[in-house]
């Protein structure tokens, strides 16, 4: 993972260039991907905040994104989608489906449904991006801090405030930010 910091500097600079000048600078710097993260491949996108990943040895597990909550989609026949559930799912799918991702652990390993709890990073041509934060910044996810897993909570809250101020996703004209 030694080559991550250079692309992240480019990503930070490019984000600074595209953010509206009227927004205040972030008080909390964007996080960097962990050097000790687990590289896995996304084999299924369940919804906006849950994926299924596969390790190189063929083992797979469900992963729930830490610190955020997206609207639900109906998984059973006749079950209704919550507003913006499909948009959040498609946004997530556009970011990670079939991609190799880096999983970052906080304190807890799993939730009550035995899903891994992780921050999920995807490498793009612009560098590494945290998917949890991308969903919040697009106005498609709410921020929910569940102790003790709160490492990036302040950053998520700033992204959420920016999404509201910019009217992205559920907070504006219906347009989500591009993944």
Is 52 marked active-site?
Answer: no
For residue range 76-114, list pLDDT tens digits in order. 788 888 788 899 999 999 999 999 999 999 999 999 999
Q: Are 1 and 33 in contact (CB under 8 A)?
A: yes
Residues of the chain with pLDDT under 70: 1-28, 173-179
Q: pTM (2 decimals)?
A: 0.80
Report the SS3 class of residue 167. Answer: coil
What pLDDT does residue 28 have?
67
What pLDDT does residue 67 have?
97
Of 64, 93, 129, 170, which one is the catalytic site residue?
64
Of 115, 118, 129, 170, which one is the catalytic site residue?
115
Is 129 marked active-site?
Answer: no
Nearest to 153 by CA among 72, 68, 95: 68
Give one DSSP letter per residue of 32-66, joined into a string: ---TTPEEEEEEEEEETTEEEEE-TTS-EEEEEET
């Amino acid at each position: 993972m030694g080559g991550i910091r250079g692309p992240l500097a480019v990503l930070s600079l490019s984000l600074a260039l595209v953010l509206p000048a009227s927004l205040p600078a972030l008080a909390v710097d964007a996080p960097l991907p962990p050097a000790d993260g687990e590289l896995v491949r996304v084999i299924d996108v369940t919804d906006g905040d849950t994926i299924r990943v596969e390790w190189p040895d063929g083992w797979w597990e469900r992963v729930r994104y830490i610190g955020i909550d997206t609207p639900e989609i109906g998984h059973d026949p006749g079950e209704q989608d919550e507003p913006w559930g499909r948009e959040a799912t498609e946004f997530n799918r556009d970011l990670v489906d079939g991609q190799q991702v880096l999983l970052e652990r906080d304190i807890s390993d799993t939730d009550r449904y035995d899903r891994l709890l992780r921050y999920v990073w995807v490498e793009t041509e612009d560098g590494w991006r945290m998917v949890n934060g991308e969903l919040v910044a697009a106005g498609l996810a709410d921020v929910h801090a569940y102790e003790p897993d709160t490492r990036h909570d302040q950053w998520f809250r700033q992204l959420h405030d920016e999404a509201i101020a910019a009217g992205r996703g559920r907070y504006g004209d219906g347009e989500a930010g591009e993944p």
